[in-house]
Amino acid sequence: MNGQTVESSDTHYRLQLKGITKQYPGCLANDKVNLEITPGEIHALLGENGAGKSTLMKMIYGVTKPDGGEIYWEGEQVTIKDPSSARHMGIGMVFQHFSLFETLTVTENIALALGDDAGDLEELTKRIVEVSKKYGMELHPDRHIHSLSVGERQRVEIVRCLVQDIKLLILDEPTSVLTPQEVETLFVTLRQLAADGCSILFISHKLNEVRDLCHSATILRGGKVTGDCIPAEAGATKMAQLMVGDDTPISTDYAKSAGGEVFLSVKDLSMLSDDPFGATLKRINFEVKQGEILGIAGVAGNGQEELLAALSGEHILDKAETVNFADTAVGLLDPRKRRELGLGFVPEERLGRGAVPEMSLKDNTLLTGFLQGLVSFGLINQAKTEQFADKIIADYKVKTPNRNAAAQSLSGGNLQKFIIGREILQNPKLLVAAHPTWGVDIGAATAIHKALIELRDQGAAILVISEDIDELFLISDRLCAICDGELSPSKATTETSIEEVGRWMTGVFDSPQDAA
Amino acid sequence: MFLKLQPRGEASKRMSYLSPLLAGILTLVTGGIFFIFLGHDPFHALGVFLISPVSDLYGFAELCVKAAPIMLCAVGLALAFKAQVWNIGAEGQLLMGGLLASAVALQLIEAEGFWVLPVVLLSGALGGALWGLLAAWLRNRFNANEILTTIMFNYIALYLLLYFVHGALKDPDGYGFPESAVFSDSATLPILLEDTRLHIGILFAMFAVVASWVFISRSFVGFQIQVLGLDSNAAKLSGFKHKRLVLLVMLISGALAGIAGAGEVTGPIGQLIPSISPGYGYAAIIVAFLGRLHPVGIFFASLLMALIYMGGELAQIELNMPLAVTSLFQGMLLFYLLACDVLINFKIKLNKSQVAGAEQNTVGNA
């Protein structure tokens, strides 16, 4: 990729796994997994959610122990008994969900994570500056975490690994939270790191990125290695087939639609965030027609949450006419009344807003489905609720033992299918979906995209807010972007390009008033 | 430390039922040890404390007399706790219920008829409900923490009651004692078993148990209360009315505590006196958690708590112990319950490496 020659001989692996097996109650998470990484290699670990990637990483990082198999570190067989010994060996890991304290500074957070190894804070600060400069990751050590963007927070996590002597860096789905530009910056850093001899284990399910970045790839499915390949040569389709198996359809192109009558119209929406660190919305205008999908791109924290709250009714507006469903002004209505008028809503947080983690799927059906005749005279109609829950599970192929399983026991993809199914089966006239496939495996993402397209073709107006540009281009009929609380003009997907939307995402567009 | 706590990953259902039992056993063992130190045969002492009180029909009746107010309060508290509304004020709501019921009963002291008692009981419910609503309003309006307000309201209620029992409601023919006149028969709860004090309050309590069970598990409002408690963001997104639900649970739990208070003054006491509750409202907090916030659990936990009250009285008589032994047992029970509840989410492991433990925690928090 960048001129780094990968040692092709097997004389000197940095890390070698032989026959790693891990059994969890009721599930063989890893089944005789073999994997080799040489110094300076960027190695992809590909697989859907539940394929066993996390388990494997956790064993390398010493969080759990394998039931069978051997781990060799620089040629010697080792037992990694805990993360701190992994760190001392030179293994660093960046988790998908950051573990940072919002009210502390960058340095303090890193010092906390390092524990006794942190040493003097001033020394550490110097080291942080040094490392972040060297690898092109601008980072101010005295800033508080809450003032950092997601991309910057990720840098903190990476720098945390780099301030120590690092030989293997493990990154769990690092790009899922970044803009295309940020992804490029991250890749530059990673390539430079690899050029310096650090091995990188890159966990992902985004094939394009793996093809761009990684020297080699190991693909997992159902806990087993289904193949090894050179991503640059293998091609996305082949890797995808290895990931999901032959029976799952992978990607399709969807026909675009022009839409009909306007259903949702937002007029001159300006509002202050409920969150002290949130974005202020500035004169936002847009419309969504029946039978079309409008996609709003943007980096997290640019006003998406505020816009969503204004649409869902969680934030009641000052003027009714600011948000309209067809001819009804709904700006002053609460979420329930908006649902009665045909709103379906898929929030960003699956657990904790879209579904109550501790409650069963049946109860979570009732959570938003209560308007579908599931309640009579104030009492819950158990039979109907169960029927509805079963219908969602069956129609949307939600993998779960039964409707009484707790929402938190489902994988992200399955829970998202459940939530989307729950909303769609209520026949919404307007569906607002935030990050509908965030952290979801390809199979589930495809199913969700199909469901959205189908709903569109039935004539519903759909608004999708996502950080995943590829996804937006795939399913949206029209696109715009939000930046710092302002909305760009929108264009038909066929008439714009990733570059243009990328520019909108950074705030380069004329005037928000042009948006139609 | 040789032992360390390891997160279980998911809460253990079995442990959540075993924990109250374990807490009970540990309380018994500690209680036994405590009796040994005081120079008593532990088995005899525990026998006096826990078995003798219910060895005859009268004892059993007394058990129900004491269990009734605890059960009423605890059922209401459980509802509030489910919504994550931390009502610590059942005691004050009970006192206000007793006070208002007494005031009405004294107004109606000449009246006769079947309607008198319901009016008195309803005023009790009203007194408790208003006292609860006040805290709910403060929370909704000013974001005032209901734990603090309800505790403070307990004291205000107590002193209000003392003020009236020493003043306006004092029996003019009572030789200056701080007691009201004895209520009329029409304003007194009927007795269920002859020659005992067992009154129909226990039926109210049992009805409340069943009704709250149906309410929480079958009604849509009950569902909303649970969602609010588990996940207020989901409740908000679904359009459940947060403030209204808070008002509702405080209204219900206040009213139930108020009925408990009214039941005390119109039942076993028969008049308003300065001390109408030996801390039933506080005991009910322990009972609600001991019963896992579930009506059936609360039913049994109330009986146990009532037994501890009776045991404390008997230990005072037969073993010459101070009445504080009751509070001691209550305290131990709560203490052990909280300790055992840790085991629902954590398991105990022998600690092999301390470093591993520390690191595990940081990763667990990730």
Task: Express each pLDDT in A80-136 by its tens digit.
Answer: 888 888 888 899 988 877 788 888 999 999 888 887 777 788 888 988 888 888 887
How many other C-beta atoms are found inside a 10 Å radius of the C-beta of residue A76? 7
A198 sits in the region (left: phi over 0; alpha: psi -120 to 50; else beta) called beta
My answer on whether A88 and A218 are in the same domain is: yes
Mean of the per-residue pLDDT values of chain B: 90
Q: B218, A99: Cβ pair inside 8 Å?
A: no
Domain ranges of chain B: 41-46+62-318
Distance from CA of A3 to the nearest CA of B (A): 36
Contacts of A345 in chain B (CB under 8 A): 237
**Over 50: is that where the pLDDT of B244 sits?**
yes
Q: Is residue A9, in this structure, part of any structural domain at all?
A: no
Single out the residue in A201, A220, A244 at which a domain terminates. A244
Q: Are residues A161 and A42 in the same domain?
A: yes
Residues ≥6 apart with Cβ < 8 Å to B48: B311, B314, B315, B318, B319
Distance from CA of B146 to the nearest CA of A (A): 23
Contacts with A98 from chain B: Cβ below 8 Å: 366
What pLDDT shows up at residue A119?
77
User: Alpha carbon B67 to chain centroid distance?
Assistant: 9
Residues A20-65 pLDDT 10s: 998 876 677 888 999 999 999 999 988 876 678 888 888 899 888 8
Please check whether residue A5 lies inside any domain of the structure. Answer: no
Task: Map residue A200 onto helix, strand or coil.
Answer: strand
Q: Per-residue pLDDT tens for A377-386?
A: 899 999 999 9
For residue A156, give the 3-state DSSP assignment: helix
User: How far is residue A63 from each of residues A79, A457, A490, measured CA to CA in Å?
Assistant: 12, 47, 47
Question: Which pLDDT does position A2 carry in this prediction?
Answer: 43
**In angstroms, rounded to a whole number, what is the distance separating the alpha carbons of residues A268 and A515?**
11
CA distance B226 to chain A (A): 9
Q: Are A83 and B363 an interchain contact pair (Cβ–Cβ within 8 Å)?
A: yes
Q: Which residue range is the domain that position A73 belongs to?
A: 15-244
pLDDT at residue B1, rounded to an integer: 54
**Quick check: is A450 in a domain?**
no
Q: Respond yes or no on whether ipTM tops 0.85.
A: no
A47 and A187: one domain?
A: yes
Residue among A367, A365, A345 at smallest CA distance from A464: A345
Q: What is the pLDDT of residues B180-198, one digit of tens each?
A: 999 999 999 999 988 889 9
Return the residue of B nearest to A381 by Cα: B218
- Domain annotation covers residue A254: no
Q: How far apart are CA A64 and CA B256, in angstroms?
A: 50
Q: Residue B201's pLDDT is what?
A: 93
> CA-CA distance, A332 to A303, in Å (whole number)?
20
Same-domain check for residues A467 and A484: yes
Q: How far apart are CA A266 and CA B79, in angstroms?
A: 41
Cβ neighbour number for residue A462 with a 10 Å cutoff: 30
Crossing angle of helices B116-142 and B242-264, in 10° steps, is 140
How far is residue A154's CA from residue B297's CA, in Å, rounded to a whole number?
47
In chain A, the number of structural domains is 3
Stretch B58-74: mean pLDDT: 95
Average pLDDT, chain A: 86
Of B231, B356, B362, the CB nearest to A113: B362
Contact list, A334 vs chain B (CB under 8 Å): 239, 241
How large is the greatest C-alpha to C-alpha distance in chain B, in angstroms?
77
For residue B342, name the pLDDT band (cuts at 50, 70, 90). Answer: confident
d(CA A441, CA A11): 35
Pair (A160, A306) in one structural domain: no
Determine phi and psi for A313, rounding to 5 degrees.
Answer: 100, 0
Nearest CB among B239, B353, B363 relative to A336 is that of B239
When pLDDT is cut at 50, 70 and 90, the band that residue B366 belongs to is very low
Kindly tell me if the per-residue pLDDT of A205 is higher than 80.
no
Q: Are B184 and B104 in contact (CB under 8 A)?
A: no
- Lookup: tokens for A380: 């819950």
Do A19 and A39 reside in the same domain of the chain? yes
Q: Indicate which of A315, A379, A409, A410 best probes the interface with B, i.e. most B CBs within 10 Å of its own CB.
A: A379
**Which residues are CB-neighbours of A377 under 8 A, at least 6 positions away?**
none
Asked if residue B125 has pLDDT above 90, the reply is yes
CB contact under 8 A, A82 and B355: yes
pLDDT band per the 50, 70, 90 thresholds, residue B354: very low
- Write down the pLDDT at residue A251: 58
Q: Is residue A453 part of a domain?
A: no
Please report which helix (H) or strand (E) contains residue B129, including its range.
helix B116-142
Kindly give the residue spans of alpha helices, DSSP state H, lying in A245-369. 304-312, 335-340, 361-369
- Residue A35 in any domain: the answer is yes
Q: Which of B84, B224, B238, B365 to mutate to test the interface with A (most CBs of A within 10 A)?
A: B238
Cα separation values, B256 from A244, B61, B73, B121, B130, Å? 57, 21, 6, 10, 12
Test the B interface: residue of A79, A275, A353 with most B CBs within 10 Å:
A353
Tell if the CB–CB gap between B219 and A378 is shorter than 8 Å.
yes
pLDDT of residue B351: 63
Q: Same structural domain for residues A358 and A471? A: no
More confident residue, B44 or B350: B44
CATH number, domain of A463, equals 3.40.50.300
In A, which residues are within 8 Å of B358 by CB distance? Answer: 84, 115
| Last residue of one domain, picked from the residues A189, A214, A244 | A244
Rounded to 5°, the CA angle B338-B341-B345 comes to 140
Closest CA to A274 of A315, A318, A332, A319: A315
Sign of CA dihedral A479, A481, A486, A491: negative
**Mind listing the pLDDT tens digit for each residue in B198-243?**
999 999 999 999 999 999 999 999 999 999 999 999 999 999 999 9
% of chain A at pLDDT higher than 90: 38
Residues 420-439 of chain A with CB under 8 A from chain B are none
A216 inside 8 A of chain B by CB: no
Cβ distance A81 to B353 less than 8 Å, yes or no, reads: yes
Residue at which a domain ends, from A178, A213, A244: A244
State the average pLDDT over residues A406-432.
91
Contact A378 B220 (CB under 8 A): yes
- Whether B227 sits inside 8 A of A367 (CB atoms) is yes
A203 and A97 part of one domain: yes
Partner B contacted by A507 (CB < 8 A) = no
Using a CB-CB cut-off of 8 Å, the residues of chain B touching A409 are 10
To the nearest whole Å, the CA of B12 is away from the closest chain A CA by: 12
Q: Give the ranges where B167-278 is alpha helix by DSSP (H).
A: 201-218, 220-230, 232-237, 242-264
A238/A286: higher pLDDT = A286
For the stretch B299-319, pLDDT in tens is: 999 999 999 999 988 988 888
In a domain, A452, yes or no: no
Residue pointed to by tokens 């803009």: A179
Q: Are residues A44 and A146 in the same domain?
A: yes
Query: Which residue of B218, B239, B365 is in closest CB contact with A335?
Result: B239
**Which backbone phi and psi does A27 adopt, to 5 degrees?**
-160, 125
Here the tokens at position B241 are 């009315």
Q: Does A84 touch chain B (CB under 8 A)?
A: yes
Q: For chain B, which residues lie within 8 Å of any Cβ of chain A, measuring from their own Cβ? A: 10, 218-221, 223, 226-227, 230-231, 233-234, 236-241, 353, 355-356, 358-360, 362-363, 365-366
For residue A4, being part of any structural domain is answered with no
Q: Are residues A283 and A393 in the same domain?
A: no
The pLDDT assigned to A9 comes to: 39
> How many residue pairs bridge chain A and chain B with CB atoms within 8 Å of each other?
93
Amino acid in position B290 = L
pLDDT band at A139 (very low <50, low <70, confident <90, very high): confident
Give the pLDDT mean for A461-479.
91
Confidence of residue B348 (pLDDT cuts 50, 70, 90): confident
Name the architecture of domain B41-46+62-318: Orthogonal Bundle (1.10)
How far apart, in whole angstroms, are the C-alpha atoms of residue B179 and residue A287? 72
Q: Is the pLDDT of residue B171 over 50?
A: yes
Q: Among the ranges A14-23, B156-165, B345-354, which has the highest mean pLDDT value?
A: B156-165
Distance from A363 to chain B by nearest Cα, in Å? Answer: 8
Within this chain, do residues A386 and A295 fall inside the same structural domain, yes or no? no
How large a percentage of chain A has pLDDT more than 70? 93
Helix ranges, A400-441 (H): 412-424
